[in-house]
Amino acid sequence: MTAYTATVTVRLKRGVLDPEAETTKRALDRLGFELQGLRATDRYEIDLDAADADAAEERASEMADRLLANPTIHDYEVEVEEAEE
């Protein structure tokens, strides 16, 4: 078994309104910054032991499917790295 860290990034699907991101963008506008848009994501860093990277990715993807993301409004991506010592 190898120790991995799976990073799951959950974001709203394109076209789904994100009022919190809109509010954050307006606050940055008010502070004088120039920006055209802002998207917020949720990122989960999951430490797990698995036989190989594929197995780690599969388990993390299942976590996203069953809990971390809601398929109605979310897309997600999973990246797996060997955990730092």
Min dist. Cβ of residue 69 to other proteins (A): 9
What tokens were used for 20?
């919190």
Instruction: Give whichever of 53 and 73 is closer to other proteins, judged by the CB atom.
Output: 73
Instruction: Give whichever of 36 and 72 is closer to other proteins, judged by the CB atom.
Output: 72
How far from 13 is each of 17, 47, 67, 72, 79, CA to CA, in Å?
9, 26, 16, 9, 19
Q: Which of 3, 20, 33, 77 binds other proteins (CB under 8 A)?
A: 20
**Closest listed residue to residue 56, CA positions, set 22, 1, 6, 10:** 6
Instruction: Give whichever of 19 and 32 is closer to other proteins, judged by the CB atom.
Output: 19
